[in-house]
Amino acid sequence: MSTTYNLSLLNLPVEILHHILDYVDTSTIFLSLYDVCTYFQTVVKAYSQYRIDFCSISKLNFHRICRIIQPETILSLTLSDDNRTPGQIKLFLSLFNINQFTRLFSLHFIDIDDKDLYTVLCSSLTSTLTSLRIIWREYHCPSVETLDLLSITLAQLNLHRLELKTASYAITKMVWPRQYTLKHLTLMYITHRQYCTILGQTPGLQRLTFNHCSMHEIEATIVPTFCELLTSLTLTDSRMSINGLVSILILTPCLTYLKILGLPDAFEAVADGSFWENFIRSNLTHLIQFQFYFTNMYYISYTARDVQSLVSRFRTSFWLQEKQWFITCDYIDYLNQVMLYTIPLCNPDFTYESEMQKISYSTNSNSPHDGNIMTNDVQNLNMTLTQLIPSTATKNGDLSNDYFFRNVTKLTIDVDQDWSINYVQHLSNIVDLSHIENFIFNPDLNPSLIDGTIESVNTLMALSTNLSTLAIHPYSSSSNGSMLMEELCNIIPHHIKYLEITIRDIDSMKMILDRHEHLWSLTLFASSNQSLPWTEFIEELKNRNRDFTYWQSYYSLHIWLNHAERLFQ
């Protein structure tokens, strides 16, 4: 006699369903499972392991989730005011007090306004926090009051991870508290004095990342602290002399991993393989992995022999046999720019140049264009298509699906002349377009070229199946502004959620809103570095009864739109 089993999620106990929810993303739980039945609503409300990331969410879904969540069930929370969700943080703080989230272990703020951060810090952050990430809005400097409050807050927490990013040296004024538990730290714009202070105040530090690091003033009176637990150091977008670099590295003798991006002011010194060989043998004896991407600051005219000579400094047994660190040197002729980097590429931002416009040599015997290995870490790719493609097509006419770049998510293209449909085909041989999420397009919209440009862009976006963000910033245009905007609106596909565009007047915004009501966010930039009366734009949105939040600067307006606001009326 056969037995019939009634297999259904509804028959499972709450405990089993909660284990299943551990593997389901938060949006699916709140936006799909919650509405299935009352039993699932009970299960969802009783679950207490939520990790909520509000980056890139629609305003509609943000409101839906905020009406359901219970603060005490949230373990991780990420809020963002970037171009996809401008005004989100202030809106969230109007709905909740951050001290309601009593079980948080991770709290992240992206592009936060200083006033909003001050509001957060005035609330008592839960002592359960172990990870805190604060990225200030671009061009916004933290106030002294906020930094004082932040210092007090950090002293009260037992953080394991901390990231503070601001576009100024204002953060150097912060009093750095003693933190025994901190293991991973990321900072921007620090001085030599603060660097030495941090090493002394965080004895348990294991990983350290500095962005835009500068060591122009090395204070000899400071007694340095050697950080013997620090094993990983990353310096990105750094502008310092060779003495500044040495002042950092000499205090970290136990490094096993070192990554450096930038250093244009010290290019001649850091481009010398013998310097690194001697320094590493003397000061970094534990170093296992060394990655770098160096560029020169000043115009240098190189010949092929010059490039070969530079590369030869990295062909010693120390580099090739002992460490097995391989490098490539590219000289871009029309830019007079030298790029010296370890391979595989360690820089997530890369500009791809024509083979005909560069001289390139490597210490690696494999092909420099092995897309499976050499460029896996490249996420943001820049190229001037009409300069790039003809040479690529000539040299690689038999390209298959062995892409040069497999993991690029952000693609920036400058188009400086006629763009035929053949260029898109060649581009699809270089880049796996199925991974592209963000497309920045800087076209020449000359009336004589516009038809070919529109056809090519439409084809490119059709191949980019995961595309959600589109930025259009023309660097030339016809004198007829309305005609230009009409053409740009024709380019924007309806699956785009986030649009960034340079405009001339309020009529341009009206046309975009009329033609693309589906947008989740809209970022407007004033053309030709001129300001626009953004208050008129905001009033226009209010007159349309749109549900929106925003923030503005002198040259830009950032709007988070509810594309289904009628549901809330």
Burial category of 514 from C-beta neighbours within 10 Å (exposed 0-12, middle 13-18, buried 19 and up): exposed
Q: Measured in whole angstroms, how far is the alpha carbon of residue 136 from the centre of its chain?
A: 14
* Per-residue confidence (pLDDT) for residue 10, from 0 to 100: 76
> Would you tell me the crossing angle of helices 88-95 and 59-68 to the nearest 10 degrees?
20
Report the pLDDT value the prediction gives residue 396, as an integer from 0 to 100.
47
Which residue type, as a one-letter code, is found at position 394?
T
Task: Tell me the pLDDT tens digit for each residue of 340-358.
Answer: 999 999 999 998 887 778 8
Quick one: CA torsion of 298, 303, 306, 308, rounded to 10 degrees? 130
Look at residue 393 in the predicted model and tell me its pLDDT.
47
Which of 321-348 are b and which e, b meaning 16 or more Cβ less than 10 Å from the residue's Cβ? eebebbbbbbbbeeeebbbbbbbbbbbb
pTM for this model (two decimals): 0.90
The predicted structure's pLDDT at residue 3: 57
**For 424-482, what is each residue's pLDDT tens digit?**
888 888 899 999 999 998 877 776 667 777 788 888 888 899 999 999 988 755 555 56
Give Cβ neighbours of residue 365 (< 8 Å, ≥ 6 apart).
none
DSSP for 301-320? ---HHHHHHHHHTT-SHIII
Rounded Cα–Cα distance for residues 351 and 346 (Å): 13
The residues pairing with 187 across neighbouring beta strands, listed in sequence order, are 164, 210
Do 56 and 85 form a contact (C-beta atoms < 8 A)? yes
Which ranges in 294-376 belong to alpha helices (H)? 304-312, 317
- In sequence order, what E strands does 212-279 have? 232-238, 257-262
Check residue 399 and give its pLDDT. Answer: 47
Provide the 8-state DSSP code for 321: I
Per-residue confidence (pLDDT) for residue 194, from 0 to 100: 86
112: CB partners within 8 A, 6+ apart: 79, 81, 89, 120, 134, 135, 136, 137
So what's the pLDDT on residue 462?
A: 86
Residue stretches of the chain with pLDDT short of 70: 1-7, 216-217, 219-224, 297-298, 366-372, 386-401, 416-418, 447-449, 476-483, 529-530, 564-569
* pLDDT at position 569: 40
Distance CA 379, CA 331 (A): 22
